[in-house]
A and B are shown apart, each in its own frame.
Chain A
Amino acid sequence: MLKTLLIGIKDVKLAFRDRAALIFMLLAPFLLTLGMGLVTGRFSGGNSTGISDIPVVIVNLDEGELGQALVDTFNSEELADLVEPSPGTSPEAARQLVEDDKAAAAIIIPMGFTRSVIPQTGDFDNGSEPEVLQIELYANPTRPTSAGIVKSILDEFMSRIEEGSVSGQVSIMQLLISGRISPQDAEAAGQEMTEKLQNAPDDDTLAIALNTSTADGAEVDFDILAYLAPGMALMFLMFTVSYGGRSILAEKAQGTLPRLLVSPTNSTQILGGKVFGIFLTGAAQMFILIGGTSLLFQLKWGDPLGVIVLVLAAVFGATGWGMIITALAQTPAQVGSVGSALMLIFGILGGSFIQLDQMPAYVQAISRITPNSWALDGFTTLALGGTLAALSTPVTALLTMGGILFVASVILFGRKNLAQK
C-alpha cells in the first residue's frame, strides 16, 4: 500500500514538473474559460448565459392575478432572449410536448392558485383553511440545464409571492389592530397591496437575475462561468488522464517500469500506484482550476462538499478512460494521439462547447458515455444551488463508469507484457 502511494506521489511530482503538460492541464482550460467568459460578456458586466430561447409551455388555469403575473414574467422583455414561452392548451398536452422533447419544461398553474394565496371574502366563513395549491413544473430530464434555469425563474417568482403574502398578511393584521381599517376593508386592502408588490419598480431583481436558493437559504447567482469553467476543466481532465496513462507505456519504454518490476515491488502495487498517480494528478488539476477560477473570477461553484465529491467521482470516471486507452495502445505516442482525439470528442459530446440541450436526442444519449456529460450535469446542479444530495445520479454514473473501465483495463493489462521494452 505504501509503495502504491509513493509511486502515485512520484507521478504527480513528475506531471507537475512537465511544463508542456502544465500548459494543457492548467493554462489551457484557464485561458479558454477566460476567453469564453469574455465572448459571453461575463467580464464586461453583461449577463449573457450563452443559453437562449429555452422552450417553455405555460398552462395557466388560474383566473387570478398571480397566474397572469407568472405568465407575464416569462413573457417579459428581460427574459425575451433567455426563454421562449408558449401557452399550453391543457396539462396533458403540455406534458406531452416535454416528453416529445419539444420543450425544456412545462409550467402548469392550477385553477384557483391566486385565491389559494390571497383568500377572498367568505373563504374563512365555514372556519376551514383554504386549500394550498401548487404550481407544477414538468421538467425535461434530457435538458437539465435549461430545465434548471426555468425552475430557478419559477423559484424566484414563488419566493416573491411568498414574501408578498406573508408581509401582506402581517401588514393587514397591523392595520386591523391599530384600527386604521375595518375588517370589512381588509380584503380590498390586501388585494391592493398584492398588486402594488407585483408592479413594484424593482423589476430588475425579478426572475432575470436567475436567482435560486441553496438549502441554507443563501442566494446564489447562476453564472455562465459556472457552466464554462467545469466544461473546460473536464475536457482537459481527459488530457491529464491520457497523459497519466501514457506515462505507463513511457516508463516501459524508458526502462523504469522494468526496473520497478525487478525491485521487491509486485505488479499490482506498480499498476495501482500508476492509477493512483493519474487519479491524484487529475484531482489536483481540477481543484487548482476550481480554486483559481473562484479566486480570480469570483466564480461560485456551489456546495463545497458536493464539489469535492463530484470532482473525485469525475476524476475516477475519467481515470477509467485513461486506463482503457493505455491498455489498448501499444506505444506512448498512440495513447497521446488517441487521448487528444478523445479529449476533443468528449469535450464536444459532453457539452464543453455546445449545450447538450441544443443537440439532437441521439447525441444527448451518446454523450452519456462521457464523464464530461455526467459531471457537467452535476456542476450545473451545484451552480443552481443543488447540494450533495442532488448529485446521486451523476456521481453513481461516474463511479460505475470508472469501475467498469478499470476492471476492463486490468483484464487487458493482464494480457500485456509490461516487462518487455
Chain B
Amino acid sequence: MENILEVQNLVKNYGDFQAVKGISFSIKDGEIFSLLGPNGAGKTTTISMLSTLYAPTSGDATIAGHSITKDAMGVRNAIGVVPQDLALYEDLSARENLIFWGQMYGLSGASLKNRVEEVLNQIGLVDKAKDRVKTYSGGMKRRVNIGVGLLHKPKLLFMDEPTVGIDPQSRRAILDTVKDLNKQGMTVLYTTHYMEEAEELSNRVGIIDHGRLIAIGTQKELTRQVGESETLILHIGENEDPEALVTAFKGIKGVLEANAIDHEISVVTPSAADVMAPVVTKANERGIKIHSIDIREPNLEAVFLHLTGRALRD
C-alpha cells in the first residue's frame, strides 16, 4: 500500500510556545491511524496544519501527493475534515447544511442531490433531514458534523475527537460509522484521548504528548514496549494517602513501576500473581484498606504510562 499522508518534521510555534515539536509519520492508503494523546498534546494543532488551516512554522506534509505548504487547494480537495467542535449552521436543516457544504466542495446538480441523500442515509437522519439542526440532540448534531466531512468522498478523512461529550449510544454509532467508512476504502486519521477508541478502531497508533510523537506502531508493537507485563489496579479509600503506598510498592521485588492517580494505584509487573500478596501486605501494614483489585493485560494506557510516567487522562 502507498502512503497517502507523509509528515516530515512538522513544527508549530505560537510565540514562545511550541505546540508541535517536529513530528514525522506516515499513513498508508486504506488504514485507520489514530493519534492518541491527552488534552493539549498537540493533536488538534497537527490536524489543523495538515488540513491547511494553520501554516506550519517549519516542516511539510504531503497528502495524496499535494504539499500542505505549496498546494493547499490540492490538499483541501483530497481531504475531509470533521472538527472537534460542531461546525454547522444551526438555523439550517441537516439537508440544507449538507447542500451548502457540498456546494463548497464543488458539488452541484444531480450529483449533489444524490450525494446528500446518500450521506443522510449513512448518518441515519433521513427522517429528520428537514428539521433545523438546533432542534437535534448532541449525538444527531455530531452525525451531521461527520456527514459534512464525507460529502465529497475524500481520500483521507480527518476526525478530530468526534466522540467528545456525547452519550454512549451515539459514540457507538460513530465508531461503527468510522469502521464502515474504512471498509468502503476511506483512509482515516482519528485523534482521541480515549485509549479504548484507539484500540478498537486503529490499524496503527501514534502516541503524542507535549507536541512530540513518542511512539508509533500497531497496538501489538506498542504494548511490546512495556514487555509482557501486567498491571494491577488498586482502588483505595478517599481518605487514604496513595503516595505513601506507591513508595512502598516500588520496593517490592517484581514491581516495575507504580503510580497513583487520585485513589487508584497502578502497579506494573511481569506477574500480577507474584506481587499480589506483598502488595496487600504493604497496604495492611499501613492500615490502608484496599476496596478492589483489577488485573489488566498490557494496553495503550500502560504504554502511555510506561513512556510518560503519567496516565493518559492526566
Same complex for A and B? Answer yes
- Interface residue ranges, A against B (CB under 8 Å): 2-3, 6, 10, 13-14, 17-18, 254-256, 258-266, 419-421
Point out the residues of chain B lying under 8 angstroms from A17, CB to CB.
91-92, 132
User: Given known contacts A13-B92, A14-B91, is B106 in contact with A264 (CB within 8 Å)?
Assistant: yes
> Is the CB–CB distance between B54 and A419 below 8 Å?
yes
Bound together, the chains give a CA A261 to CA B54 distance in angstroms of 10
**3 shortest interchain CB distances as A-B pairs:** A255-B87, A259-B87, A263-B104
> Is the CB–CB distance between B100 and A419 below 8 Å?
no
Point out the residues of chain B lying under 8 angstroms from A419, CB to CB.
48, 53-54
User: Given known contacts A255-B83, A419-B53, A419-B54, is B91 in contact with A260 (CB within 8 Å)?
Assistant: no
Point out the residues of chain A lying under 8 angstroms from B64, CB to CB.
none
Q: Of B76, B91, B106, which one neighbours A262 at CB under 8 angstroms?
A: B76
User: Given known contacts A14-B89, A255-B85, is B103 in contact with A3 (CB within 8 Å)?
Assistant: yes
B90 to chain A, nearest CB (A): 8
> Is the CB–CB distance between B103 and A259 below 8 Å?
no
Q: Of B48, B86, B92, B101, which one neighbours A263 at CB under 8 angstroms?
A: B101
A281 to chain B, nearest CB (A): 14
Point out the residues of chain A lying under 8 angstroms from B311, CB to CB.
none
Point out the residues of chain A lying under 8 angstroms from B83, CB to CB.
255, 258-259
> Is the CB–CB distance between B85 and A260 below 8 Å?
no
User: Given known contacts A6-B103, A14-B91, is B73 in contact with A264 (CB within 8 Å)?
Assistant: yes
User: Given known contacts A261-B53, A262-B51, A419-B53, is B103 in contact with A256 (CB within 8 Å)?
Assistant: no
Point out the residues of chain A lying under 8 angstroms from B105, CB to CB.
263-264
B12 to chain A, nearest CB (A): 12
Bound together, the chains give a CA A421 to CA B85 distance in angstroms of 11
Check if B52 is an interface residue, CB within 8 A of chain A.
yes
> Is the CB–CB distance between B76 and A263 below 8 Å?
yes
Check if B170 is an interface residue, CB within 8 A of chain A.
no
Over the window 65-92 of chain B, the binary record of Cβ atoms lying under 8 Å from chain A Cβ atoms (1 yes, 0 no) is: 0000000010011010101011111011
Bound together, the chains give a CA A13 to CA B132 distance in angstroms of 13
Point out the residues of chain A lying under 8 angstroms from B54, CB to CB.
419-420
Point out the residues of chain B lying under 8 angstroms from A258, CB to CB.
53, 83, 87
A280 to chain B, nearest CB (A): 16
> Is the CB–CB distance between B52 and A262 below 8 Å?
yes
Over the window 211-226 of chain B, the binary record of Cβ atoms lying under 8 Å from chain A Cβ atoms (1 yes, 0 no) is: 0000000000000000
Which residues of chain B from 161 to 178 have any CB-CB distance to chain A below 8 Å in the complex?
none
Which residues of chain B from 78 to 123 have any CB-CB distance to chain A below 8 Å in the complex?
79, 81, 83, 85-89, 91-92, 96, 100-101, 103-106
Point out the residues of chain B lying under 8 angstroms from A262, CB to CB.
51-53, 76, 79, 81
Closest to A269 in B: B104
Among A3, A18, A258, A263, chain B packs the most CB atoms within 10 A around the CB of: A263
Bound together, the chains give a CA A265 to CA B48 distance in angstroms of 16
A101 to chain B, nearest CB (A): 50
Over the window 258-274 of chain B, the binary record of Cβ atoms lying under 8 Å from chain A Cβ atoms (1 yes, 0 no) is: 00000000000000000
Bound together, the chains give a CA A305 to CA B181 distance in angstroms of 56
> Is the CB–CB distance between B92 and A265 below 8 Å?
no
Point out the residues of chain B lying under 8 angstroms from A13, CB to CB.
92, 96
B15 to chain A, nearest CB (A): 13
Closest to A15 in B: B91
Bound together, the chains give a CA A261 to CA B132 distance in angstroms of 24
Point out the residues of chain A lying under 8 angstroms from B86, CB to CB.
254-255
A35 to chain B, nearest CB (A): 30
Point out the residues of chain B lying under 8 angstroms from A256, CB to CB.
87-89
B52 to chain A, nearest CB (A): 6
Point out the residues of chain A lying under 8 angstroms from B76, CB to CB.
262-264
